[in-house]
Amino acid sequence: MSRKRTAILISGRGTNMGALISAAMAPSYPAEISLVLSNRPDAKGLERAAEFNIPTAIVDHKDFSGDREAFERQVNAVLKMHNIELVALAGFMRILTPFLVDAWTNRMINIHPALLPSFKGLATHERAIDEGVKLHGATVHYVSSEMDDGPIIIQGAVPVLDADTPDTLAARVLGVEHKIYPKALELVASGKAKVTGARVTSGESADDTAALVWP
């Protein structure tokens, strides 16, 4: 089996990066983590990647005087240098331009802490509580030119409890993120995640009678 060379792009701790690295340690997993790249030299996730002997790279966005495309061209050059085939964004806090999105169409995925298309952007947990939703969660999707958009690969949901604070809800959602991101990368790297328009099909079977209801 040819494993897809995958880069993880981070800006901070890289908690989802850790979940992807753990999954990729299995020889049967269809992706190998070949590079961890950060736009911040002080990102803690770089140290963690180095502990697993994964090559790391830094492309500091501050070196490009606000020229986002020039920054992305350097990121792209580093990805090519490492023969990367797939890109997983894991807390990469940069709004991407069409250049990088187009260069990696259907080969770049992202995780967002909400059930898209609801609650795009920041402060998702606070907004979920304020809006009174009963279910919240996380979404892994292909990256498109619009922020927090693109065909949805997989979602995971958790209940919003009456006593929840943004922090307690965030912790519950993070647990879901660590489960669904490795599964999503597996589907993409294996070629099972097929994009047709705005939809992704994977051929994964499910119990058609199952329903998630809360409360």
Give the structural domain span for 118.
Answer: 110-204
Residue 21 within any structural domain of the chain: yes
Query: Which of these ranges, 97-101, 136-140, 198-202, has the smallest mean pLDDT?
Result: 198-202
The set of catalytic residues is: 112
DSSP string across 52-116: TT--EEE--GGGGTT-HHHHHHHHHHHHHHTT--EEEESS---PPPHHHHHHTTTTEEEEESS-T
Please give the structure tokens belonging to residue 114.
């909400």
Reduced to 3 states (helix: H, G, I; strand: E, B; else coil), residue 123 is coil
Q: What is the pLDDT of residues 48-76, one digit of tens each?
A: 999 999 999 999 999 998 899 999 999 99
What's the structural domain count of the chain? 2
Same domain, 115 and 99: no
Same domain, 159 and 198: yes
Q: What is the pLDDT of residues 4-38, one digit of tens each?
A: 999 999 999 989 999 999 999 999 999 999 999 99
* Share above pLDDT 90 across residues of the chain, in percent, rounded to a whole number: 88
**Domain boundary pick from 83, 104, 125:** 104
Residue 210 confidence class, pLDDT cut points 50, 70, 90: low
Same domain, 114 and 132: yes
Evaluate whether 91 touches 15 at the Cβ level (below 8 Å).
yes
**Domain boundary pick from 77, 104, 131:** 104
**Domain boundary pick from 104, 120, 153:** 104
Residue 214 confidence class, pLDDT cut points 50, 70, 90: low
Total-model pTM: 0.94
Give CA separation, 106 vs 78, 100, 121, 124, in Å: 19, 12, 21, 25
pLDDT at res. 203: 81
As a whole number of angstroms, the distance between CA 122 and CA 118 comes to 12
CA geometry: angle 24, 99, 84, nearest 5 deg: 25
Please give the structure tokens belonging to residue 147.
């922020």
Same domain, 169 and 131: yes
Same domain, 129 and 185: yes
Same domain, 92 and 145: no
Residue 162 confidence class, pLDDT cut points 50, 70, 90: very high
Same domain, 3 and 88: yes
CATH number of the domain to which 71 belongs: 3.40.50.170
Residue 214 within any structural domain of the chain: no
Residue 210 within any structural domain of the chain: no
Q: Which amino acid is at 112?
A: H
